[in-house]
Chain A
Amino acid sequence: MRPENYQAVQLGESNEYEIFIGPNHPGIEGNYALKLVLDGDIVVKGTTDAGYLHRGFEKLMEGRLWIQNLAIVPRICVPDPAPMEVSYSLAVEEIMGIEAPIRAQWIRVMQLELSRVAAHLFTFGGHAATTGMYTPMYWGVADRDLVLDLFEDFTGGRVYSIYNIPGGVRRELPNGFLEKLSNLLDYLESRQNDYDNLLFTNQIFVQRAKGVGILSKEDALDYGVTGPNLRACGLAFDVRRDDPYLVYDQLDFDIPTQQAGDAWARILVRRDELFQSIRILRQVIEKLPTIKGPIRTPIPNPLSWNVRAGEAYARVESSKGELAYYVVSDGGDKPYRVHVRGPSSMHAVQTLEYLAKGARLEDVAQIMFSLDACPPEVDR
């Protein structure tokens, strides 16, 4: 619905009001809206209103060459674009029956984990901002920018890396890159105390987050919740470990979980995950120099590249949860169908509607952000 059509409506004789929150409310993530029916400040019913970011990516991809889609897939989720590229590439590789060289797989892992770090930093700040705390947001965005500096260094783009290509990655790492990465990790670790003081051991935030938006494990499974949101309900499931891709089965990392399933549990899981990502990145720094060899398995001339008929469902663990690309080829030079299964399509619609019911208006924005939904994954 167009924002200009938004207006508070009193519903009949009851005390209930209908209002909109979003699509540009400062406390919510990205462009989607929630239509709320309120009784006092208690939400009676919440309905997700999406479509503000619909750019028809799935349709666009059907009209573009296999390689041209590389440039648009990262745009589906701005805060965490790397899993999009990797997932698309993995799906195409599976159909073609090729695999990226081992060095490229390690580089991809590095890219994915860096992207996760950037995404989580973004979310911390955003989540804190929904409770009225703006400093963590500035810090989160500023520190994320340091990660983006690294992306700029090795992929050539700050946000949209467009670095993967079916068969591997497009460029070798620049000289001295791993050292830079190592320095960044040191810095991020040194910042842990600051973040803890400011946010994670801040009594005001802890009290604001605790008990908000409680999701039981059963409900989470029912609503198709995945990723950190699922792990915050006590199920230790992670695509990286349980449906491993690339070289994740050779990496040593824990899967942080919490039991309570509320906003506090969710942000704690993310906090711990960030440091697991740093742990993985340290292993990459150690391993990468020992792996020599190509970074790309050649693909045919992209202008006459027909991918043999077939289909593949490639799943990866993004910072938001289970991300999957279902790609179908009819043997042509363009994909026949690309379906993007974004984790947020589960979190931002039914789960959010379920959690909003009975919540207080002041908590709604926090619930939205604690689910870390990325609206373009819904709209595509």
Chain B
Amino acid sequence: MKKINYNDKGSILNPLKNLQFFARKPITEKLEPRPASASYRGFHINDMDKCIGCSSCQKICDNAAITMVEIPSIKEDAAKGIRNLRPAIDYGRCCWCALCVDICPTSAIELSREYVHVCDGDETDSYFVLPQENGIHGLNFEKGWTKTEDSDLLDRKRRPMGEMEPEERIDNFNEIVDGFTLQMAVEEASRCVDCGLCEDACPAHMHAPNYIRSIYEGNLEQAVEWMYETNPFSHVCGRVCTHICEDACSLGRADKDGNKSSQPIAIRWLKRFAMDGVSKTKIKQIAKKGMARKKSGKSIAIIGAGPAGLTTAFDLVKKGHKVTVYEALPKAGGMTRYGIPNYRLPEDRLDQDIEVIQSVGVEIKYNVRVGIDISMKQLEKDNDAVVVAIGLQNGRSTRVAGSDNKAVVKAVDLLRMIPKGDKFEVPKSAVVIGGGNVAMDIARSLARLQKQQFKKVNVTVSALEALGTTFLADDEEVKESLEEGIVILDSRGPRECVIDKTGKLESLHTVKVESIFDEQGRFAPKYDESDSQFHPCDMVVEAIGQMSDVPILGDELTEELEWNRGRMQVDENGATSVNWLWSAGDMVKGPDVINAVADGHRVANDIDKYLK
């Protein structure tokens, strides 16, 4: 570099040297639109199909430039987490910082390589834009600033959940999942963008964003308060919920290659963490909030002390009515007690949920069988309304040859015996027919009992569906079953339970499944009869579905009610065709705790309205 000293005077001729510039060719920049640099922050482009309307862009926008607009032509799908809201940008406010791009959970919103938008004074409406794929001027400019792994502002990885090792857990019914520590729970909660897609997806519309926020703030009591607004089975749901919310979570979307590298918030485990962190006494106080001061003087009978029945009872008691719950078994909880093994849901957690429900004034009469110990007629006479919430207690049978053998049992019956302490002969080897979560529950329970008695697991699951694609059970259930030494034979259909001459079960005969549904999507499995196998076993367990024990209603009432394919016909509030009778839970909605809870709320509201 040439040095210039302070005292240099310079010359008056020096600037004249630049006259040479007159001889140079001038540089001309054309005024036609040209694309800006490859990562330019130009105007917004929004992929309307990828956008789910979570409104995270609106929250991060530092200039309040984004308005969420409802587009009726977009179909909402709460269970998949899709809303018909899409962002519209006010370019009078936008500062092109691209934080909306960097936070977008689905990478739907991006910026183009377009420089300029010009308009006349009376065209200011053109500043308010609903961005779509083709850009602000419809010119399909290339993409500029898009999200990269570096610029992504969201934490895509779930905090890992600790689990008992397979060899540690296989000979007992202790709970497998460790649960979060405070640190992990707060970190997991901090990932939430508070879009509320989970709340819309949840059948009971649990206020998940609110309780996640409370957990993030370390206020577990407030979190539990949010939960009890919608769910008195929060301990149960914190452990065994089917977590539809997590499928809808905006963070759980697959990326453009279909990889699920982004993991949804562990909403279920967070709920479990908050519930475990608050004392029973405190939860009882929380549950009492919002109790009606005045008694209504009306009384309601509820048949079945499962989640649906008890939720209905809980709500109705809080509204000032008198409620009596009739339960045929010695303890409450229904399928959550007599269907879900302890290693998934420890009994004391369930006991606590029920204790809290009782503490608000719900009365439960145990070992009372309606239809035998007390008649429907009597219940109708003594009460202003009756709710049937008896669930699906009877197992379905495959009805293949030999399935009437005494060594062929139903999963629900067997599962019920374990918590009741009923003795039965544990088979040295067993085959389970079915591929759903119930099949996994019984397979894994049997495996544990075998390990305890024979030190050896010998359970085979035979399912129609194919692993990894159509399989019904949760991925984690499959993974854990395999870890525990259970053999899963997928795409196999049962043909016969082979019985030897002495009447003893010998084996299960299966054939290969070619397809499960026909072209109209109806259940009509097709088999390849040439591929057949025999699985020797001491017991066959059928876990292919359940049905209701409807005969308890009595002939007269059954006649009076309307039915739909074996299920009681109810309206959207659970009201049957008989004006004093409602029905709730699995028997009308299919097997799922959170749906049962949601149903309970609906029925309770409807009854309350009816009684007024």
Contact = CB atoms under 8 A, between A and B. Distances in A.
The answer to whether A and B assemble together is yes
Interface of A: 64-65, 67-72, 135, 149, 152-157, 160, 162, 170-172, 174, 189, 192-194, 196-207, 258-260, 264-265, 268, 271-272, 275, 294-296, 298, 300-305
B11 interface: yes
Contacts of A300: 155, 190
Interface of B: 1-2, 4, 6, 8-12, 14-15, 17-18, 36-41, 56, 59-60, 62-63, 95-99, 102-103, 111, 144-145, 148, 150-151, 153-155, 189-194, 213, 216
A206 B15 CA distance: 12
A70 B97 contact: yes
A107 B18 CA distance: 36
B153 A301 contact: yes
Contacts of A193: 2
A155 B145 CA distance: 9
A53 B402 CA distance: 90
Q: Name the residue in A194, A197, A200 with the highest tally of chain B Cβ atoms < 10 Å from its Cβ.
A: A197
B14 A203 contact: yes
B103 A302 contact: yes
Given A160-B95, A206-B9, A198 B18 contact: yes
A355 to B, nearest CB: 18
Contact of A304 (B1, B39, B150, B192): B192
Given A157-B41, A196-B2, A196-B4, A206 B10 contact: yes
Given A172-B150, A194-B18, A71 B4 contact: no
Nearest to B62: A68
A198 B15 contact: yes
B99 A67 contact: yes
A295 B150 CA distance: 7
A160 B155 CA distance: 26
Contacts of B103: 302-303
Contacts of A174: 37-39
B151 A170 contact: yes
At the interface, is chain A mostly helix, strand, loop or mixed?
Answer: helix
A171 B150 contact: yes
Contact of B6 (A69, A171, A260): A260
A196 B150 contact: no
B148 A172 contact: yes
Contacts of A303: 56, 59-60, 103, 192-194
10 contacts: A72-B95, A154-B39, A157-B96, A162-B96, A170-B151, A172-B150, A192-B1, A199-B15, A207-B9, A301-B190
A283 B4 CA distance: 24
A71 B129 CA distance: 21
Q: Name the residue in A265, A296, A301 with the highest tally of chain B Cβ atoms < 10 Å from its Cβ.
A: A301
A207 B10 CA distance: 9
A265 B8 CA distance: 11
Q: Which 4 pairs from chain A and chain B are nearest by CB? A: A68-B62, A71-B97, A201-B10, A203-B10
Given A202-B10, A272-B1, A303-B60, 19 more contacts: A65-B62, A68-B60, A71-B99, A72-B62, A156-B39, A156-B145, A160-B95, A162-B96, A171-B150, A171-B151, A197-B15, A198-B14, A198-B15, A198-B18, A203-B11, A205-B10, A206-B8, A302-B153, A303-B193
B1 A68 contact: no
B453 to A, nearest CB: 49
Contacts of A196: 2, 4, 14
Given A198-B18, A301-B192, A204 B6 contact: no
B102 A170 contact: yes
A262 to B, nearest CB: 9
B37 A156 contact: yes
Contacts of B6: 258-260, 264-265, 268
A145 to B, nearest CB: 10
B101 to A, nearest CB: 10
A67 B153 contact: yes
Contact of A302 (B60, B144, B148): B60
Contact of B193 (A69, A170, A197, A301): A301
A65 B153 CA distance: 14
Nearest to B17: A197
B213 to A, nearest CB: 7
A304 B150 CA distance: 19
Nearest to A135: B18
B98 to A, nearest CB: 7
B14 A202 contact: yes
A270 to B, nearest CB: 12
B383 to A, nearest CB: 48
Given A71-B95, A162-B98, A301-B154, A201 B60 contact: no
Nearest to A296: B150
Contacts of B2: 192-193, 196
Nearest to B251: A301
Nearest to A149: B37
Nearest to B145: A156
Contacts of A135: 18
Q: Name the residue in A199, A201, A271, A298 with the highest tally of chain B Cβ atoms < 10 Å from its Cβ.
A: A201
A266 B153 CA distance: 43
Contacts of A194: 18
